[in-house]
Structure 1
């Protein structure tokens, strides 16, 4: 039976996301520690203009965002469920060299998540710092300001399934206000123009102009019995 356009789009997004995740799951494929399985974890919910989904290949962007949110979820899960510590780089270390020595002495040879916590602070030391960071196994993403440093074979990841859902948002899902004067719905269109709509007209507009893409994963995580085999690194405002 032939797939519908929506089913084909979902399948393509799923394939790209699986391929994007593959580098992480391949890197952490050695089983370790106690295993925990998580079902239908939402790693992305994003509203996209329908025109962009049809006329512009935004599947790569969706997979990048899903990948980043998935890594953020892993980091948060290792903190909340496995007890991995969180340190602030700017508070704990006086210099880039102190930071490098910390990573080296603890044998943290895999760096994941946001690159920002690992970036150089004193640019006079740029080449040395860059060379050191590049010598680690780096799996950076467009994640926000959290990163994680790990010892080899301390984390196990198994992707059991990727589920992509594409739906149409309702009025309740978008930012909209009622005009006190006219009672109509005031909404900023995809072109950035504020217009007033009757409720039914606004619902039709939203139906035609936007789609909501949600990405879920079923995943199994295992982490070392030694909680010090990883550390989560944030970076507060500069000193």
Structure 2
């Protein structure tokens, strides 16, 4: 009786143990499946992240390449713009130069015509003064240059003498500034006449009397250097000594 009871107990324990083992196995299997699923899901996520990263790197490389291309294109456009602006400035300067030349040509024509009118009316001095202000190198027209040179020949020498006489009268009347102006014009127009040393002499004394000693010395030294036979030579030396003492 007792043995049968013990045998039943062992079977109960065996069944319980077997059931526990089965449960453990089932739980272990389930856990392994879950772990495998989790690992697979994690691996998939890693793959997705890697794919996403690769895509990002690809997109970044593409963006960098596109940025470089755009920068190059922008630089090319800037260079083209700079070249266009430089060309535009060059054209502006060329147009400005042409306009200046045209304006100068018109002005020269007008001045020569004015000088010719003064000459026709007998105003030799006025004609010569107008011609004196014209730069003959700026006269491009051959016929106009011939007219200009013709008027110079007709007026400069006579006008020079007239300015000399007027300057001398200014000097005698102690109008020293007017004397300096008229005598200098006489020399500009024609400095080869007999009165050239007279002009420098009266200029020197006029400058001296106005207190401009440096200009007076300049005129006196011109007589010494260029007119050693001048009748004023001794007076020139004396005035230089006086100026040196001032």
| TM-score, reference length from structure 1 | 0.18
Largest Rg, 1 or 2: 2
Comparing both structures, which one devotes a greater share of its residues to helix?
Answer: 2
Structure with more contact order per residue of length (Cα contacts < 8 Å, sep ≥ 6): 1
What TM-score, normalized by structure 2, do the two folds share? 0.18
Structure showing the higher strand proportion among its residues? 1
